[in-house]
Structure 1
Amino acid sequence: MKNTRGIVWGGLLVMIGLYWLLRNMGLVHIQWDQVLPYWPVLLIVAGALLLVSGGERGASGGVVGLLIILAVFGGIINRTDRAFDRNNWNFGWNDHDDDDYDYDGHEDDGDRDDDRDGDDERENGKWKKPINGSYKYEMEDFIQKANFHLEGGAGSFSLNGNTDKLFEASTKSSIVGFLSNTSINKLDNSATVNLKMEEGNVKIKNGKINNEAKIQLNEKPVWNIDLGIGAGKGNFDFSNYKVEKLKVSTGVADMDIRMGDKLSNADIDIEAGVASVTVEIPRSVGCEMFMDGALNAKSMDDLHKVGNGHYRSDGFDNAVKKIVIHFEGGLTSVNIKRY
């Protein structure tokens, strides 16, 4: 056992040290975004070694353990990167003392307000005004179904309350602005609303970033919602909305989601990297959850395990209203709460 542990930890230290030495000497440069998707190969090699060795401990056991550890971390990092890439955001740490933020391009479909307030940032000795935005689209009587897509990059995002508009949002950012557009389809009585941060190469200094979006939707349509947040905080209260489908993609974020009981059936699809996700479900609704992923901490209020990664609330089969959750995560804290 001690020999196996020595091989695992010794191998990790040798690989990490060798990589950084060669990197500092300019002899190696790895495109990790092209390598990480192939992390399952490590599990295949580990399985093959176990078959060849017949499961015996020793040197082969240490190598297998090393491969499994590398595969787990490779999968977690790859999943986090996928959530960031979904929003076309590239983050780079800035160790210099000059420019706090770099961004390129401005294009705004909303009303931008540049009034200075107490949250202004200081850059190169001058005050840098925050970029404020206001977005809205009027509700039309024929709209019965609506889609809402949020691409948030990094920041703080909230959705709650009701508006007589189809959609409205107020945003504030010290980095880049937001873009919004709405399209309608009278043939199927539907509308599609998009809200996304402007694309850019953001450099963050000392981990400081300030983006905020407060969103409200109309309660009348049946909503199909797609949320993409790379990093930050998300607080989404859908309890007053008719949400038929909800998709959440996040990298490194703290997500609070509250569902309601306005429809007979609702589906939730969550893909998370290194995150904390809390989903609140009414006790009047039957809940079923399918979980896929390693190293996920779980807290299931009123849900019981019925299979591998499969959980259900009591009386789910006979429940009049149901919510089904599909969760796929890396190193994630998952909490299901009933209210």
Structure 2
Amino acid sequence: MNRGLFWGIFFVTIGFLFLARNLGWLSVDWETVRNLWPVLLILAGVNLILERQRNGAAVVTTVLLAVAAPVALFSFVNRHHDRWDRDGDRWEYRYDDNDDDDDDTNNDNDNEADNDDGDSDIETSSVSKFVESMDGDTPEATLKFAGGAGRFSIDETTSNLIEAEAKQSIGTYKMEVERDPTTRVPTIELRPNEGKTEFKDGKLSNRIDVKLNDKPVWTMDLNLGAGEGDFDLSRYAVKKLNVQAGAADVEIKLGDRVDLMDVDLKSGVASVVVRVPQGVGCRVEKQGGLNVNQLDDFEEVSDRVMQTKGYDTAKKKINIVFEGGISRFKVDRY
């Protein structure tokens, strides 16, 4: 790939997009644009094939990729400015927060499903609540979360091991908890029950909100398809965090409750923002393709590795490995 040509067009395009947004020239449903992110993979593949064959058409695919990549990134960065409404000038994600007590059904797994037959701003087929109680001695726990399309959050604490609420317009969710017979360490798996979740009429179909107990040391595997992930993990002791995001906008806030935290981030076409405490040493290893990186207050160790000042002598450390396809990656200090 002609890197000079690619990056020149890339920065011109993304600069024009921000200028156009600031001047109010854009009237685009960016949600639709986000769903087209696989086109970038197709263009990248065709470009590689043509370059291997030394075909002059590779210049064309390079130009197309240089335009499409910043448009895809901008669709995630611009999420706070682009909530269009099919019925008016704007749309925004809404869900029905009113549960109909007459329609509640309880089962032995602490799952409460509410089916609303009435009209609402967005159709919600079910509201499910999951609870797993906290054993007296639970030093460690593992959370495995899988989401399709929607909004997903982890925030706040609970006296239970986990509390989760799933509001869906398509499909259902289920939670399974297995405890090691020897150590009694629980593994929680929260995932779609069957089928697939997807965008419906331009709206995010699902919202999953999770609360966790702050006493165990957590290992977390979070797998998102498309949509938004807002994970405030600063209250929890997390020793290992794995996040995979397809076409998603992800914000993660980390804490300082463990001496060493390992974070593995993998994304397709996504915007990933990680917030790290000021008093913690942070090391970032970057892998992958066409990424826009914002790493303020970091020093370059090698071509792909950066770390904060005083990392080697810091008592607490966070090590991040980021592997992105075409992504925006930012690390903030707070």
Fold agreement, TM-score > 0.5: yes
Tell me how far apart the structure 1 counterparts of residues 172 and 121 of structure 2 sit (CA, whole Å). Answer: 15
- Residue identity in the other structure for 1:158: S
Q: Deviations over 1:53-94 (max 9, x none)?
A: xxxxxxx5x355457679999999xxxxxxxxxxxxxxxxxx
2:263 to 268, 273, 280: 268
Structure with the larger RCO, 1 or 2 (CA within 8 Å, 6+ apart) = 1
- Residue identity in the other structure for 1:111: E
Structure 1 residue 206: Cα displacement: 3.4
- Residue identity in the other structure for 1:209: L
Of structures 1 and 2, the larger Rg is shown by 1
Instruction: Name the residue aligned to 2:307.
Output: 312
Structure 1 residue 207: Cα displacement: 2.0
Judge conservation of contact 2:116–2:124 (CA < 8 Å) in 1. yes
The runs of at least 4 aligned residues of structure 1 exceeding 6 Å deviation read 39-42, 67-76
Instruction: Name the residue aligned to 2:92.
Output: none
Instruction: Name the residue aligned to 1:111.
Output: 112
- Residue identity in the other structure for 1:273: G
Judge conservation of contact 2:152–2:229 (CA < 8 Å) in 1. yes
Q: How many residues align?
A: 258
Structure 1 portions without partners, runs of 5+: 6-32, 50-59, 77-107, 122-127
Instruction: Name the residue aligned to 2:332.
Output: 337
% same residue: 35
Judge conservation of contact 2:148–2:198 (CA < 8 Å) in 1. no
Q: Secondary structure at the match of 2:301?
A: strand
- Residue identity in the other structure for 2:297: D
Judge conservation of contact 1:120–1:130 (CA < 8 Å) in 2. no
Judge conservation of contact 1:293–1:330 (CA < 8 Å) in 2. yes
1:289 to 281, 284, 293: 284
Matched, 1:181 2:211: no
- Residue identity in the other structure for 2:194: E
1:46 to 43, 48, 51: 51
Q: Residues 157-172 of structure 1 correspond to what in structure 2 (within 5 A)? A: 157-172=152-167
Q: Deviations over 1:97-143 (max 9, x none)?
A: xxxxxxxxxxx95221224576365xxxxxx6530001010110222
Judge conservation of contact 1:275–1:331 (CA < 8 Å) in 2. yes
Q: Secondary structure at the match of 1:46?
A: helix
* Residue 308 to residue 220, structure 1, CA distance change in 2 (3 Å): same
Instruction: Name the residue aligned to 2:224.
Output: 229
TM normalised by structure 2 equals: 0.69
- Residue identity in the other structure for 2:178: S
Tell me how far apart the structure 1 counterparts of residues 267 and 117 of structure 2 sit (CA, whole Å). Answer: 36
* Residue 308 to residue 168, structure 1, CA distance change in 2 (3 Å): same
* Residue 275 to residue 308, structure 1, CA distance change in 2 (3 Å): same
Q: Secondary structure at the match of 2:186?
A: strand
- Residue identity in the other structure for 1:119: S
Instruction: Name the residue aligned to 2:144.
Output: 149
Q: Secondary structure at the match of 1:284?
A: coil
Tell me how far apart the structure 2 counterparts of residues 66 and 140 of structure 1 sit (CA, whole Å). Answer: 61
Q: Deviations over 1:201-233 (max 9, x none)?
A: 556453223311110111111100011111111
Q: Residues 20-31 of structure 1 correspond to what in structure 2 (within 5 A)? A: none
Q: Secondary structure at the match of 2:289?
A: coil
